Amino acid sequence: MITIIDYGMGNLRSVEKAFEKYCSNVAVSSSAKDILKADKIILPGVGAFKVAMDELKKRGLIEPIRESIEKGKPFLGICLGLQLLFSESEEGGKIKGLDIIKGRVKRFKDKKGLKVPHMGWNEIKLKVKSQKSKVMDGVKNGSYMYFVHSYYVEPKDKDVILCETDYGGNFTSGIYKDNVCGFQFHPEKSQAVGLKIVENFVNL
């Protein structure tokens, strides 16, 4: 069973529909029990980092997430869900995250000609690590993905970087460490190439 975590941050139907193409047992849930029972877990989300962490805490979901990751269950963070995996965010001050991946979440700097949020299609540049990750099987270097975000992740350990994207300079657009992967773009909105990542995650 795949559980998509519902913590009140964004419309989850598009994520659910994408995963239902490849798996007959997908559930959207805000229950700690469902997270602990799941074979694979997805943490999507759009919105503010602090609000998201407050919601996860309020609903008692932080420990089930950590426990599931420690048990080695495949875990996918999408957009805000990727950012929450990090140690802290500068959004709204210095806000602590789940601290699964060491590093920070930073805001794009306002530069001339650079619109924030970064919105629309942009290409990903695969790192060497991508060749060892089954979640990127069949995804070509230079593939275009769909982004909507004002903040980006900066991991301490550069070895976790799966792919980067250029927006006024390179930023990390995908990570993979052990059983945890995450993407700043939306695979579920990135047409056939994004759905390939969805299929790969289901088959992990």
- Name the catalytic one among 16, 91, 164, 188: 188
23 counts as catalytic = no
- Tell me the sheet residues that pair with 95: 89
Q: Report CA Rg, the chain.
A: 16
**Annotated catalytic, 79?**
yes
**Strand residues in 30-143 grouped as ranges (E):** 40-43, 75-78, 86-89, 95-96, 101-107, 118-123, 125-126
* 186 among known catalytic residues: yes
Q: Both tokens of residue 20?
A: 């239902």
Out of 91, 163, 186, 199, which one is annotated catalytic? 186
From the candidates 79, 149, 181, 199, give the one annotated as an active-site residue.
79
- List strand residue ranges (DSSP E) for the chain, in order: 2-5, 26-29, 40-43, 75-78, 86-89, 95-96, 101-107, 118-123, 125-126, 144-149, 151-155, 161-166, 170-177, 180-183
Q: Rounded CA gap, 52 and 58, in Å? A: 10
CB atoms within 10 A of CB 122: 16
For 142, counting Cβ atoms within 10 Å of its Cβ (0-12 exposed, 13-18 middle, 19+ buried), the class is: exposed
- Positions marked catalytic: 79, 186, 188
